[in-house]
């Protein structure tokens, strides 16, 4: 009886997790439509690919598989009643807001935002307000679904569950976390050429933030790193754009 009840709870959690992920994908579709109807121009042309239909389709299919496999790979689902909101929402959001404030202060003192804008040949590194709210909230979903949910969960399940037959989940997870956490910071190097001190500080900071998000994903599920990134983007990209960064 206890085994049956546990199985039912797990099945219910998976269904809710899939429903939440579907809602996130529907929001991405709405973001895509708004960006097209509003003819919103992104700052870096490569950012436009984040909201292409093939990418959204890939995130929906691969991400849906990852949501279903996450509990089988030893990871929390998007919806887990045993994890209180203060752990997957409040704490990550507070940390994200704090990191955003720190980044704004660093940009103001170092001129890093202007350096990156000049490297990209644009007046500002941020999409103008209020379009920034739509753009960066959608971008946060894309980044977390790709780098945390898909690129960690699917290889983790394949390597630890299938190839290693249920062994080594923790070390495999952290190898994948380190690799995926390095991808986004590597993109900063091209914008900071000629400023090695900024490259060191910003790449290390971005890598550390991604490792933190991987840890939150490992402990509390996808919504925790998503809450952190949304709060961080709210300060750095939205507020930062309003005040001139």
Which pLDDT tens digit goes with each residue over 2-25? 455 556 566 788 999 999 999 999
The C-alpha angle 194, 199, 200, rounded to 5 degrees, equals 130
Cα–Cα distance list, 110 to 59, 67, 105, 106, 114 (Å): 36, 40, 9, 6, 9
- Hey, what are 181's tokens? 């956490």
Q: Which pLDDT value is given to residue 198?
A: 86
77 φ/ψ angles, rounded to the nearest 5 degrees = -80, 175
Residue 216 has pLDDT above 90, yes or no: yes
Of 63 and 110, the structure prediction assigns the larger pLDDT to: 63
Interval 74-124: pLDDT, tens: 999 999 989 999 999 999 999 999 999 999 999 888 888 888 877 777 777
- Which pLDDT value is given to residue 69? 96
Can you state the angle between helices 196-220 and 91-110, rounded to 10 degrees? 180
Residue 144 has pLDDT above 80, yes or no: yes
Q: Which residue has the tokens 């995926």?
A: 180
Burial of 37 (0-12, 13-18, 19+ CB in 10 A): exposed
Report the interhelical angle of 223-233 vs 131-144 (nearest 10°).
Answer: 150
- Of 20-29, 55-64, 164-173, 224-233, the poorest mean pLDDT is in 164-173
What is the structure's pLDDT at 195? 81
Question: What pLDDT is recorded for position 41?
Answer: 61
Look at the block and give the residue holding tokens 């679904």.
Answer: 145
- Give the model's pLDDT for residue 84: 94
**Which pLDDT belongs to residue 65?**
97
Average pLDDT over residues 121-139: 87
Residue 43: predicted pLDDT:
56
Q: What is the pLDDT of residue 12?
A: 82
In whole angstroms, what is the distance from residue 50 CA to residue 140 CA?
A: 10
Calculate what percentage of the chain has a pLDDT beyond 70: 92
Burial class (CB in 10 A: 0-12, 13-18, 19+), 156: buried
pLDDT of residue 234: 97
Q: How far is CA 147 from CA 44, 63, 142, 162, 239, in A?
A: 20, 11, 8, 21, 25
The distance from CA 187 to its chain's CA centroid, rounded to whole angstroms, is 15
Better-predicted residue by pLDDT, 37 or 149: 149
What single-letter DSSP state applies at residue 190?
Answer: G
CA-wise closest residue to 149 among 38, 73, 238: 73
Q: What are phi and psi of 126, to 5 degrees?
A: -115, 145
Question: Residues 45-62: what's their mean pLDDT?
Answer: 87
Average pLDDT, the chain: 90
Q: In the structure encoding, which two tokens stand for residue 59, read together?
A: 């995130």
Tell me what pLDDT residue 201 has.
92
* Cβ within 8 Å of residue 200, ≥6 positions away: none
Chain centroid to Cα 110, Å, comes to 26
Q: Inform me whether the pLDDT recorded for 132 exceeds 60.
A: yes
Per-residue pLDDT band at 203 (split at 50, 70, 90)? very high
């Amino acid at each position: 009886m206890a085994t049956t009840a546990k199985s039912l709870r797990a099945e219910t959690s998976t269904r809710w997790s899939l429903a939440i992920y579907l809602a996130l994908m529907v929001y991405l579709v709405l973001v895509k439509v708004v960006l097209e109807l509003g003819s919103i121009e992104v700052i870096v042309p490569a950012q436009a690919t984040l909201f292409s239909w093939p990418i959204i389709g890939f995130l929906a299919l691969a991400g849906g598989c990852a949501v279903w496999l996450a509990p089988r790979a030893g990871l929390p689902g998007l919806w887990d009643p045993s994890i209180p909101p203060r752990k997957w929402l409040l704490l990550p959001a507070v940390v994200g807001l704090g990191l955003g404030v720190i980044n704004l202060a660093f940009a103001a003192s170092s001129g890093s935002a202007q350096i990156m804008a000049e490297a990209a040949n644009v007046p500002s590194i941020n999409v103008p307000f209020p379009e920034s709210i739509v753009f960066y909230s959608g971008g946060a979903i894309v980044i977390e679904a790709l780098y945390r949910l898909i690129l960690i969960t699917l290889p983790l399940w394949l390597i630890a569950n299938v190839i290693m037959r249920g062994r080594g989940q923790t070390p495999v997870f952290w190898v994948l976390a380190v690799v995926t956490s390095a991808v986004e910071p590597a993109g900063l190097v091209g914008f900071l050429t000629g400023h090695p001190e900024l490259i060191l500080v910003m790449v290390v900071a971005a890598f550390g933030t991604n490792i933190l998000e991987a840890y939150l994903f490992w402990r509390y599920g996808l919504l925790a790193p998503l809450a952190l990134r949304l709060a961080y983007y709210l300060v750095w990209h939205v507020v930062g754009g309003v005040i001139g960064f």
